[in-house]
Structure 1
């Protein structure tokens, strides 16, 4: 995503310029000019990103812009790293005059080289901007998005009320439920009934069954079906309704076409108010479409007209009628999946001919005909890949329905994923495969959600993704716009959670678990949605997945066969390492490493780990890492040289041995989130945390190490999460200097420290943003916390615990 890359680079440049770093003086002007050029380019990229799917020329320009932005970032990050590394090792009073002169000349040469490279990249970006403008790409203002006319919507997505589908499984009860809701009289029923779910679930098929249901047909006098889709004209839809309701002659039609939009909406409104009509709005994509169309529908009046709508976006249903009836079709279970596949691929060919359907060509003894037994065996294995998605099952069944020889079925069996992407495996096919249908949901995403969606593809298949982890990663990766955070109540994390909610409402992620307050806690991706994600990520060079098993132990990490070498050399910025039955015995390799900025690790079996040698080499050679997330990866201790990763914005090593951390971790000036072993592996945590002024989330061990004598936390203005604050060696008054705390866990060793802690809850001081507070007292502490005193100083408190026991939970309104 070029726009995301440019935005992250702009944020990085802003960080450096606002830091007023002295060593930038020699190239400050060039960097500022580059910043101005990138700001202009970003306003063009929103339109360009939306058009690259269908226009090869735009796609090529976008790729070049992304590469130029990556090059600029590499040059700047390398320059900063070289200068900072030199500065950290300075001992001017002990260095000879000759050596100081040598270093000064070398610095001038570095400045000249960096300045000329930045000038060259800026010129290239400027020329690409001219090319985009010449080609007709628009410069969009802040908050403005591409118009619907810029989107690709195949005509085949249009639906019709009369088009039947005999291959229906598992929808009879759902259709009856929806029909019953629609025929309820007046105020006792919902005026808007919605069917919402991911693409391919059969929403239109279900709506069609309801539309033709006997109860519905007996109840309503007028029936109108319109497919809204992504490309729609409000006036055209209103006219369609008027023509169907009033059956006008030629003269009346001409009169309607001459009406103003407001007059047509009013005429339609009045007609629907007088009749008992069923209005079906199929495939309505966003809230704005409903807002525009709803002027013609009396959904808030005393009327017998009802609206049935289908959408891939749950927010459409909420906007149409917050109290309306919402039905979300589930994926098919195993039995229904097989029944649907059997209908499409087997039944129609077997019934007339028995076990041996006729072949299209001459029978060949070396290529035997497929038998029913073989069809069922191979079919049951293949249908599992559809994961209950009806469209995918129908696509697969359609592919196999025309194949009569066993080797043809076995070929499909071996290449199942490619056949689910397009009908008959033909990428030139005019019909939709399941992946093309799902891709419409991706194409419809607002530009700022696309990188967040693609980022999810780095997680393994069926992985339960914690909201906390996703939000911290998105913020650290610069995927959340940081402009004006100070001026708004909404933090970067709030925006990230809103983005996750929007992806869930569009059914691109599935909510697995919610917290007691109703927030999304765990989510996952449907397998076919993940396949879509991986396809789009590859098109955009977004990340590389490296799968490691013990069978790969003789290889080098960056020589993994899953890596596309041309890609890895020039464009690899994110790697996701999946460990499966892996002991960690593998080397990084000796060739030059790509400038990787983000590395994620996953142990898919719970015990695979990373060797100390590998983690040491990663830390020493991936010098530009901004994100290192090895949550739940074991087998190594935190390397001594990790403090040299001065660009880090997120570090998660919660399953690594902490041991002794060096004071060099104070170099992490840009660190936003730190998560280290929550248990007892720390020996020494240096008193440098107070230097990390940008910290937003800090997860410390319960046992901070016997060699740790003091920790300071004062004036970390951005800190929102502080887990395991050590009251024994830290001043509890430091907490009063943390204005943005939202979650706090405090470790209290005894009653005297508990008294000190309770003393900070003294009006007029308040923790204005604190939502969750946990106080853990040791065995020799006998007192309890003063609940009333805490609540008086924490106006937004939602959870309060002592020693893991819930004392106050706002949404259950309980006090114990």
Structure 2
């Protein structure tokens, strides 16, 4: 709980608690006490998990402390809710409320005293366990080589014949090491824990070509606790010992300046290879640069790390090459698994009856060598029996915690979590809430983090930007895998490794962070938990008053008792997520969830919001994407903290129609009160008229605006609105009818940071301000009906990455992409340009283009020879194009040579009337045979 919130509660209590009994007069002092206790508890809990790991008694004590922290948070949140509701009550009935208010105050006073009593007993245990906070000096304990039993020792003794799947990385690293250059080169090997970085580095270190090149070699395990002076001293001793040289005298007693000078002088004349394995901190670069950085004898340094920022930081002082180690292929992973699981069988072959289970295990390991080796080793001790193996797979989470065979795997993967700063640990635990193999949308995840209060509020920076930095850091620490990236390089979706997820889920349970609810939970006692992830509803009645988040993944009908009891049983909820569920309505008393900040109803069957939604005064995100909510109640205007309001429905059921494909929402008079709103799309402008535009001008914090059904007569009013929105980054405008023309030239000063622009309207001409949008990365024009080639005006947009010309945006016959135009364009889409018959691409034009799509351009029957000029094109797609064009580029066709250099050439064929009724097939080229 943030200090500001605690202070606020304290102030409110001082103002409101009357001194009418000895019990109530002590509330202020008691709250002061538990406020101080909460601050100290949370400071301690930041490192408690690591401290308590080895002692079951301590674990119990830490759990009690954490639950006491929960109780304090709950009583504070309950007080805030009660005081806010009391303020909102009508003065005319204030006297009637006096007695219930007094009773509630007695109740909260007793709860506080009970918490104090519990804390006193817990504190006594602190003395018994003699806990100490970590001192800064504990981080540097000198150099210690791995000891017997330490998993870091294993790669030292892997025979070359035992190494599987590292042939290509080994060859690349060896080539970098032995290439003929005198420059000092540092090679960073980056990847998640258990991926085999140490094994690869040792494999390369012992390669005969490498040994022949470097007579001075040292392999040093750094790990999380190290002393750089000791590491360098060990390195010098190793060099001297291997080459029968005397060790420089006095290294132990020298001050740091003389020590670094001595090491530097010793190394300057030598060609050496040193491996710093398992590096966790950027500062190592600064610590070694003076001693190692000036060598010009062709020396090499290899660094292995889980963190990409460390690899990047070395670039400050060294010439760096980065090798991002990839998971094993399915074939290599299967080979490694069989080598471990069936080591005693001739040929290490998998028995036929275990083939399906073996494949399932290999799939779950997702190419992570440590997981494959550990699980394979465990199964090698079991009978080759399907039921035995199935039990191990089903109970993998439990086995990770208790089975000696998997202890190494659990320890290695836990290190990355334990190394996280405190604010990122909760963010990382959130990945365990999502089901196995679930592809997690970035926006959904980061908005949940924000609602939970995990994201620090920084002045002058949107919370979204800060939360995206959190996700980036988790990715760069090799904890989170990117699943999809947008055209602008932003992460669109992500997931975590299945085995890492098992580790995270166990931590979630230990920390009472979240309970994963399945049908099997009917007889399970849930106990204290802060969150519910509901994969399937059970028949048991769900109730937990301190729950802060409920996320529903169940695809079945939602139980009535669950929906009816939401506001009474989960009154402290902050996050409520029904995305993709069968929810069809919200209870009328939804507004009682006073603390709710995030409500996700996207892709549900909800059509109407209850009027009580206006009571959710803390709501920040209301997600109504792909719902048929077409009108919001007037009470929505009470939500002055609302920041994100995406609401629309797209008709995928029938044929595409640009003007009617998307349905927006009608807002009532008074939306100017939503001063915090940053994203609003899609608003229907034909409901509200000029008054709507007058109120829109008041929403100056908007960063994304989507507005539909704009009438020609409101062009000037719309321009006036946009001109006030200095923070706008994304603008989407759609006209009400094809025959209406929108004049946007009235907009003299467009938003300075506009990045995305969608204009679907007939335009008198291309507005003069568009070619001057220097930060624009995406431009989509539809229905514009330009008779001249618009590319000449648009070609100088310096940062444009994606250009879409749709639905007769251009009504001419020929487009010309000129030399030097669109310097950064990556994606180009030409769709339903009915008169387009030819395209010219100059030889040095569109040099960065990677994706080119054509759809339903009926007159474009010949693919231009100029496509040979697109050397970097990775994808070429055709949909509903003339048969002459498609036939000509098929293998053996007259134009096949034009596209033969493109890795993916894809044809889409419609098979029905609905939007998604199609099939895809690829044309073979020289790069995808």
Q: Is the 8 A contact 1:421 1:433 kept in 2?
A: no
Q: Which residue in the other structure is 1:800 paired with?
A: 757
Look up the match of 2:521: 561
The answer to whether the 8 Å contact 1:396/1:420 transfers is: no
Residue 180 of structure 1 corresponds to 175
Aligned pair partner of 1:812 in 800, 809, 812: 800
Residue of structure 1 aligned with 2:640, choices 693, 698, 706: 693
CA separation in 1, counterparts of 2:58 and 2:743? Answer: 62
- Select the residue among 476, 490, 496 that pairs with 1:519: 490
Q: 1:771 matched to which residue of 2?
A: 729
Residues 1:406 and 1:465: Cα distance change in structure 2 (over 3 Å) = closer
Structure 2 partner of 1:552: none
- Structure of higher CA gyration radius: 2
Match of 2:279 in 1: 284
Alpha-carbon contact 1:148-1:231 (below 8 Å) kept = yes
For 1:48-97, what per-residue CA distance to the aligned partner results, in whole angstroms no more than 9, with x for missing partners?
34422334454333322221122223334444555655665x5554x6xx
1:197 positional shift: 1.0
Indicate the SS of the match to 1:158: helix
Distance 1:420 1:329 in 2: 26
SS of match in other structure, 1:461: coil
CA distance in 2, matches of 1:146, 1:678: 54
Aligned length: 743
SS in structure 2 at match of 1:388:
coil
Q: Is the 8 A contact 1:378 1:410 kept in 2?
A: no
Structure 1 counterpart SS, 2:268 = helix
Q: Report which stretch shifted further, 153-162 or 625-634.
A: 153-162
| Alpha-carbon offset, residue 467 of structure 1 | 0.9
Corresponding residue number in structure 2 for 1:334: 330
Q: Equivalent residue for 1:621? A: 569
For residue 534 of structure 2, give the secondary structure of its aligned residue in structure 1. strand
Asked whether the 8 Å contact 1:686–1:711 carries over to 2, the reply is no
1:71 aligned partner:
71
Are 2:665 and 2:682, in contact at CA under 8 Å, matched by a contact in 1? no
1:203 aligns with 2:197: yes
Answering whether residue 436 of structure 2 is matched by residue 470 of structure 1, we say no
Distance 1:573 1:740, change over 3 A: same
Q: Is the 8 A contact 1:725 1:747 kept in 2?
A: yes
Q: Could you say which residue in structure 2 is the equivalent of 1:212? A: 206
SS of the aligned residue for 1:256 comes to coil
Structure 2 partner of 1:259: 254
What's the counterpart of residue 466 of structure 2? 495
| Alpha carbons of structure 1 residues 401 and 32: separation in structure 2 relative to 1, 3 Å | closer
Which of 667, 675, 682 does residue 716 from structure 1 map onto? 675
User: Quick one: which of 542, 550, 570 aligns to 1:599?
Assistant: 550
How do 1:427-446 residues align onto structure 2 when only pairs under 5 Å count? 427=403, 432-446=407-421
Q: 1:652 and 2:646 equivalent? A: no
Q: Distance in 2 between matches of 1:669 and 1:186?
A: 66
2:716–2:746 contact (8 Å) kept in structure 1: no
How does 1:344-743 map onto structure 2 within 5 Å?
Answer: 344-350=340-346, 372-374=351-353, 376=355, 379-403=358-382, 405-407=383-385, 410-416=387-393, 418=395, 427=403, 432-482=407-457, 485-486=458-459, 489-548=460-519, 561=521, 564-565=524-525, 568-569=526-527, 571-579=528-536, 589=541, 593-603=544-554, 608-610=556-558, 614-682=562-630, 684-701=631-648, 703=663, 709-714=668-673, 716-717=675-676, 719-728=677-686, 729=688, 731-743=692-704
Comparing 502-511 and 651-660, the one that deviates more: 651-660
The RMSD of aligned alpha carbons is 3.8
Q: Which stretch has the larger CA shift, 743-752 or 304-313?
A: 743-752
Structure 1: where are the runs of 5+ without partners? Answer: 1-5, 356-370, 549-559
C-alpha distance after superposition, 1:230-287 (max 9, x if no partner): 1211111010122223449998455111112233233323433332211111111232
1:112 maps to which residue? Answer: 106
Please give the alpha-carbon distance, in whole angstroms, between the structure 1 residues aligned to 2:189 and 2:522: 40
Are residues 104 and 788 of structure 1, via their aligned partners in 2, closer, same or farther at CA, if it must alter by over 3 Å?
closer
Counting only pairs closer than 5 Å after superposition, residues 56-135 of structure 1 correspond to structure 2 as 56=56, 58-81=58-81, 90=89, 93=92, 103-122=97-116, 124-125=118-119, 128=122, 132=126
Distance 1:477 1:148 in 2: 35
Distance 1:206 1:639 in 2: 58
Q: Distance in 1 between matches of 2:235 and 2:351?
A: 49
The DSSP-based 3-state class of the residue aligned with 2:187 is: strand
CA shift for structure 1 position 402: 4.5
Q: 1:376 to 1:672 in 2, by over 3 A?
A: closer
The whole-number CA distance in structure 2 between the counterparts of 1:745 and 1:14 is 40
The offset of 1:102, in angstroms, is 6.1
Identify if the C-alpha distance between structure 1 residues 669 and 378 changes in structure 2 by more than 3 Å, giving closer, same or farther.
closer
- Greater shift after overlay, 15-24 or 622-631? 15-24
C-alpha change, 1:216 and 1:639, in structure 2 (3 Å) is same
Once the two structures are superposed, what CA deviation does each residue of 1:338-367 show, in whole Å capped at 9, x if it has no partner?
21122233355425xx99xxxxxxxxxxxx
Q: Do the aligned partners of 1:670 and 1:694 also contact (CA within 8 Å) in 2?
A: yes
Separation in 1, partners of 2:184, 2:394: 41
Q: Normalised by the size of structure 1, how large is the TM-score? A: 0.81
Which protein is richer in helix relative to its size?
1
The Cα shift of 1:463 comes to 0.7
- Other-structure match for 2:41: 41
- 1:594 shift after superposition: 4.0
Change (3 A) 1:114 1:723: same
Deviation at 1:175, TM superposition (A): 0.7
Structure-2 separation of matches of 1:785 and 1:35: 59
Residues 164-216 of structure 1: CA distance to partner in whole angstroms, max 9, x if unpaired?
A: 333222211211111112223438x8822111111111111111222123432
Distance 1:111 1:519 in 2: 50
Counterparts of 1:448 and 1:133 in 2: how far apart (Å)?
28
With the length of structure 2 as denominator, give the TM-score of the two structures: 0.72
CA contact (8 A) 2:216 2:272 kept: yes
